[in-house]
Amino acid sequence: MRVQWRSSAIKSLLELDNWRASLELPSIAGYLKNTIHSYFEQQDFSVYIPGRHVLIRNLPVDLRMVLISVGKSDPYKVFYRIVDNSIEIFLIRHPNQRPL
């Protein structure tokens, strides 16, 4: 499947880097984007659709959330939906960031 990044997903990656900078941690947005992209490209959606359904105010109803771990840190929440033959990434959050 093809992976598409919504502007809200890119914005959330930039916010994540700003949050990490406030904690004096290095930026991770580029690495995280590549990791998420390769995760979805390797999935076989004909067998199993990863994640669970979630509802977030002002976002599409058919969103799913999957947890993707990068190294030893807590897993990142990736919110996405399946449209036709592509994956749309909407939002990426770290568990310690402020709630939505």
- Structure confidence by residue, pLDDT tens digits, 74-97: 899 999 999 888 999 999 988 776
d(CA 29, CA 31): 6
Q: What is the four-CA torsion angle of 7, 54, 81, 83, rounded to 10 degrees?
A: -120
Residue spans per domain, the chain? 2-93
pTM above 0.85, yes or no: yes
Reported as type and span, the H/E element at residue 82 is strand 76-83
Burial environment of residue 5 by CB neighbours within 10 A (0 to 12, 13 to 18, 19 or more): middle
2-93 is classed CATH 3.30.2310.20: yes
Sequence-separated (6 or more) residues with CB below 8 Å from residue 68: 35, 36, 39, 75, 76, 78
- Structure confidence by residue, pLDDT tens digits, 14-66: 998 998 899 898 998 999 999 999 999 988 888 888 889 888 887 777 899 99
